[in-house]
Structure formats: structure tokens, C-alpha cells
A = this chain, B = another copy of it.
Amino acid sequence: MELIDKIKQICEGARVASRSLALLSGAKRNELLRSIAQELMMGAGEIISANEIDLKNARENGISEAMLDRLMLNHARIEGISSAILKIAELADPIGSGEIFTRPNGLEIHKMKTPIGVVAMIYEARPNVTPDATSLCLKSGNAVILRGGKEAINSNKCIVSIIRRALRVCCVDENAVSLIEDTTRESATLLMGMRGYIDVLIPRGGKGLIRSVVENAKVPVIETGAGNCHLYVDESADLDMAIKIALNAKCSRPSVCNAIETILLHKSIADEFLTRFYKETREFSLDIRGCERCLAILPDIKMATEEDFATEYDDYIVSVRVVDDVLEAVSHINAYTTGHSEAIVTESARSADYFVNNIDSCALYVNASTRFTDGGEFGFGAEIGISTQKLHVRGPMGLDALTTTKYIIKGDGQVR
């Protein structure tokens, strides 16, 4: 069978399965999740064997240690995945509940929350995305089509076959969860073109993947994870707090989208902050790149270019610029931001207000680290990703992001 026909067949199966999934009660969907959690635990040995093949292949291909760690599954991690699924089963049902309003003509309008239908995910080397995404989609009554990276293909095949086993045990159409086993670029491109089959496509992974999906997809997409985030330290800042937040936002996990890439410093505190920050970051060998005014303070650091300010390093690198005031800081951010998360450290209510009102980013922090932009940290119970677009959902995406609206209108013969 041609690849396009295979993908179309998977899409058609998902579409049919999505109709019956949408009719399941919340209790039944939770039963399904518990069954998946159980089968994954019971199949842990199988999964680890499959994962070992992926790890062996990855090592042969000279993959980095960080990548190997993302790829690796062991008993503890499978237990973690399984218990995360059980937690999702405990969350409130995102489907069904809604407002009812009665119009003067007697029409009763029920605004229902319903599943979107068929969700497709394109992702990279992390096999844990497979059960994570599946459980969020099933919890919200959606069918899911998974297209993971080639590095994790054996793990993914094994996990999906176990999930489909759990679906059969619960008498649910197993096409509710499908894996596209072809991991060529072509399969991703074909999937992005399946208009009429896929209701939303969510890419998860590096910048290259996200950009490729956003630019090439013909189906609706939710853009996730582009984060050129900023920290501004104001004139009135508590400098101990500023140092602590800067260290956390830059160095606690530089590879994630809510880490900062640029620090803006009010001229009056630049000297003290920069001297202390430089010392504190030697343990991370942080590469600090500064503007001319920074170089006057720390002559040994590299000069930051325009390109530096526009770059999401995702690494132990930070660009720093000294500004005259909060206005200049806000102008800089509005010029370079991807609209993800920005923080100000200040004791001035006026500076804080100016900062949060004049920057059009999804999350604006006053005296806290940008690292909190996360579904779990926001209390959403689960996260499918962090949306950096403005339509449908912005910021951390909980289960609600996987629902849409349906109006059911009851009358007794009303005409207009």
C-alpha cells in the first residue's frame, strides 16, 4: 500500500472511532485510562525491551547523552507514566457541562463542551509523549493519531500496541489511538495535509519541527513552545531577589521554553547586578553576551549582537543589555519577544503596571521566575503543551484546549 493510502486509512479509522468515543460517558473514559495505566505496568518488560533496541540504535548513531536520557524508559519511568495517567483519570470531566440560557421566545439553548474530534500529534524522540498525549486526548473524548520520531519508533510501537490492547479490553474501537509507523519526513508532510480528517494538529518538539508544521500544515494547528523570554531588573528591585530569579530562570533548566534568554538591567543597578550574577554563574560556565554598557562593567564577556537578542538559545548562554528605564526595557521586549513569558523584578507598582500592561506576551511575571509558565504549576492538572498563539488557547494548555462548543437548541415549533 502507498504511504498516502496507509495514512488516509489511519485517518478514516480515527474519524470513525472519534464518533463513538464522543458518546462515551466520563466514567467510561476514566475506566479506559485506568485500564491503559494497568496494561502499561503489566507490559513494562515488553516496553523496556523495545526501548533497549531504540537506545542501541541511538548509541550507534552517536546521539548525545541528553538525547539518550530523553529516549530512555525504565521501570521507574513507566511507573511514573502509569501514575500520571491515573491522576488524569481523577481530573474533572472537561466534556458535557455547559451553560443553559432561555431566550424570550422560549428557545432553550444548551452550550455544550464537546470533544474536538481527531487530534494529531507530531513529536520527536521522547516516547513518554505517546502515553501522555493519548491519555489527555482520551480523557477529553478525542481520537488521536501519533507520529513520533524515528529514534523512539520501537518504544512507540510497543506502547501503542499495549494501549490498543487496553482499548479492546474495554470494548472501545482501537482506532481511537493510532501510530504512524513510517517516520520519514514524507509521513509528517502527508499527515499535515489531511484536511477533513484531522481537527487539530499539535506539534511538540524543537523549533525546527514547530516551524515546519506551522508553515506547511493544511489542517488547523496549535503552535507551541517558541520562547524567547526576558527578565527585566528595575531600578527599585530587591537585588537578592533579582539574582535568585535570574539564576532560576536561566540556569535551572535552560533547554525549556520558559527559560529566559535575555536579561535587561536598569542602568542604576547594572554594575552591582552584573558583577554578582557573573560570579554566581561560573559554576554553570554561563556564556554571558552583553551590550557595550555591559562590557564596560565586565570587559571579558562577549559582545551581544542583534542576532543574539533575537535568539532562543535553549542553552547556558544569556544576552544582557543595560537600559535607561522600564520604557526602554518594554520596547526591547516588544521588538524581540516571541510572546511567551517575561518577568520584571521591581518594588515599584508603577513600573510593574507599565510592564504588564504594555507587553503583549502570554505570561507576565512580577517578582517571580518565568519558569512557572506550565500547566502543572498553573494548577491545570495536566498539560498538552504551551500555546504561543493567540487564537483558541494561549499559554499552558489543559484539557479544555482539547474541547470545542456545540449548541443544542430545544424549541416547540419556533420560527424566525
Contacts and interface: CB of A to CB of B under 8 A. Distances in A.
Interface of A: 19, 22-23, 101, 103, 107, 109, 114, 116-117, 199-200, 220, 222, 238, 241, 244-245, 247-249, 252, 334, 356-358, 360-369, 371-373, 377-379, 389-395, 404-416
A101 B252 contact: no
B390 A107 contact: no
Contacts of A412: 241, 367-368
Given A19-B358, A19-B360, A394-B405, A411 B107 contact: no
A361 B366 CA distance: 43
A415 B372 CA distance: 8
Nearest to A253: B416
Given A103-B377, A408-B366, A245 B415 contact: yes
Contacts of A361: 406
14 contacts: A23-B357, A103-B378, A103-B379, A220-B390, A244-B415, A245-B415, A249-B415, A363-B409, A366-B411, A368-B412, A378-B407, A390-B404, A394-B404, A394-B406
A195 B262 CA distance: 24
B107 A368 contact: yes
A385 to B, nearest CB: 14
Contacts of A369: 414-416
A408 B19 CA distance: 38
Given A23-B358, A367-B410, A414-B369, A395 B405 contact: yes
Nearest to A363: B407
A328 to B, nearest CB: 15
A294 B135 CA distance: 47
A232 to B, nearest CB: 15
Given A22-B357, A107-B377, A366-B408, 12 more contacts: A19-B334, A23-B358, A200-B390, A220-B389, A247-B415, A361-B406, A365-B410, A365-B411, A372-B414, A394-B405, A394-B406, A395-B405
A23 B356 CA distance: 11
Contacts of A334: 19
Nearest to A373: B407
Give the residue among A19, A109, A366, A414 with the most B Cβ atoms within 10 A: A414
A114 B415 CA distance: 37
Given A372-B107, A406-B364, A410-B368, A415 B19 contact: no
A393 B394 CA distance: 14
A181 to B, nearest CB: 28
Given A363-B407, A364-B407, A244 B413 contact: yes
Contacts of A109: 378-379
A101 B103 CA distance: 33
Task: Give the residue among A22, A252, A369, A409 with the most B Cβ atoms within 10 A.
Answer: A409
